[in-house]
Amino acid sequence: MDEMKESILEYVIHEYLDDDEDEDIGYDTELISGGIVDSFSMVSLKRFLENKYDIQIPDADASPVAFDTVNSIAALVQRFKQA
């Protein structure tokens, strides 16, 4: 689980924050409410998770709340990996 969180966090930092951005983000940082990932960009983040973990996340489960932190995203991925 920790490896998964690290991997998701790394992806978020790489794709949604610029290299010279000094924003300190962690597993509990609010990505959607905090404006780091907007609702449109959630689609590419969802696609990344589906590709990397070979899962399908139904749109109904891809809510802004479920995608709001790395912790909640990892829990969501875990749920579909086990399904």
Partner 1 sequence: MTRTYEDRSQNFDWNLAAAELGHHAGDPINIGWHCTDRICALGKADKTALLWEDFRGEQRTYSFDDLRRLTNTFAHWLEKLDVQPGERVCLFMDRVPELYLGFLGVLKMGAIVQPLFSAFGEDSLWTRLDNAGTCTIVTQKKHVRKVRKILDRLPDLRHVVVVDADADKPLKEREVALDLHGLEPVDRYEVHPTTAESPSVLHYTSGTTGQPKGAQHAHRSLISQYITAKWVLDLREDDVYWCNADPGWVTGTSYGIIGPWANGITQAVLDAGFNAENWYRFMEKYGVTVWYSAPTAIRLLMKEGVELARRFDLSGLRHLCSVGEPLNAEAVVWSEKAYGKPFHDTYWQTETGCMVITNFPGMKVKPGSMGKPFPGITAAVVDPETGEPVPQGQVGVIALKAGWPSQIQTYWNNDAGFRAKHLNGWYICGDQATVDQDGYYWFIGRDDDVINTGGHLVGPFEIESALLEHAAVAESAAVATPDPVNMEVVKAFVTLKPGFEASADMELEIMNFIRKKLSPLAMPQKIAFIDQLPKTRSGKIIRRVLRAQEFGEPVGDLSTIMND
CA gap 26, 10 in Å, rounded: 10
Contact region for partner 1 (CB under 8 A) — 1-9, 45-53, 74-82?
45-53
Does residue 83 touch partner 1 according to CB under 8 A?
Answer: no
**Interface with partner 1, residue 24, by CB under 8 A:** no
Closest CB to partner 1 among residues 11, 27: 11
DSSP for the chain?
A: -HHHHHHHHHHHHHHHS-TT------TT--STTTTSS-TTTHHHHHHHHHHHHT----GGG--TTTTSSHHHHHHHHHHHHH-
For partner 1, the closer of residues 67 and 74 by Cβ is 67
Contact residues for partner 1, defined by CB under 8 A: 15, 18, 20-21, 23, 30, 32-35, 37-41, 43-44, 47-48, 50-51, 59-60, 63-65, 68
